[in-house]
Amino acid sequence: MKASQIGAIVLVLSGLATFAANAADIEAGKTKSAVCAACHGVDGNSANAAWPSLAGQHASYIYKQLKDFKEGRRVNASMTAMVALLNDTDMKNVAAYYEGQQPKSVAFDGELISAGENIYRGGITETSVAACMGCHSPGGTGNGPAGWPSLKGQHPEYIVTQLKAFKEGTRTNDVGKMMRNVSVRMSDQEMKSVAAYIAGIQ
């Protein structure tokens, strides 16, 4: 790993430590999340596969994404408008509220599970794609302190969309270009397969 990548990861981890040190107001977060519910669901389980489910996601990760939208490191017109309504405390509170919600099962293509499991657990040797579980854990729950998101309960369509965004360079807020370096080596079919497997993790 390059020194610049290590430095970027250290900065992120420092930010996550700061986040963890500040107690959030979950009830206030629930109230503020009313503006999020139309897309992400009242309890963080999105009914539309185009929008991510936030239930059970690490508060540190949600907070980082909200800050990235607010500060232009991640671009989406709808989210930019939404975060404009939130201050820093609001974002921490909303993130804490969604972290405490329970992710629900989502639909997935069972025929892709086997191929997807091979990628998730073993990577793709031919193209040097690392196993997804190295960062996102065997159970898909990620690693909050390290900044790696939980994928459990996420719509496979949304996962594919984000992998393609990383591959095409339209999403660039991954630490040390980790996701861009992985996704650029993946085919569309490989993305669909691993997304189906992730969606099926119970």
Check residue 137 and give its pLDDT. Answer: 98
Check residue 125 and give its pLDDT. Answer: 97
Domain locations along the chain: 3-99, 110-200
* C-alpha closest to that of 174 among 151, 144, 147: 147
Q: Which CATH architecture has domain 110-200?
A: Orthogonal Bundle (1.10)
Q: Which CATH architecture has domain 3-99?
A: Orthogonal Bundle (1.10)
Buried b (16+ CB within 10 A) or exposed e, 67-83: bbbbeeebeeeebeebb
Check residue 23 and give its pLDDT. Answer: 74
Q: What is the pTM of this model?
A: 0.88
DSSP helix/strand/coil, 124: strand
Token pair for 25? 């107001």
Give every residue of the chain whose pLDDT is below 50, as ranges: 2-18, 20-21
Sign of the dihedral defined by the CA atoms of residues 132, 151, 9, 4, in that order = positive
Count, residues in the chain: 202
DSSP helix/strand/coil, 112: helix
Hey, do 3-99 and 110-200 end up sharing a CATH topology, with the first three levels equal?
Answer: yes
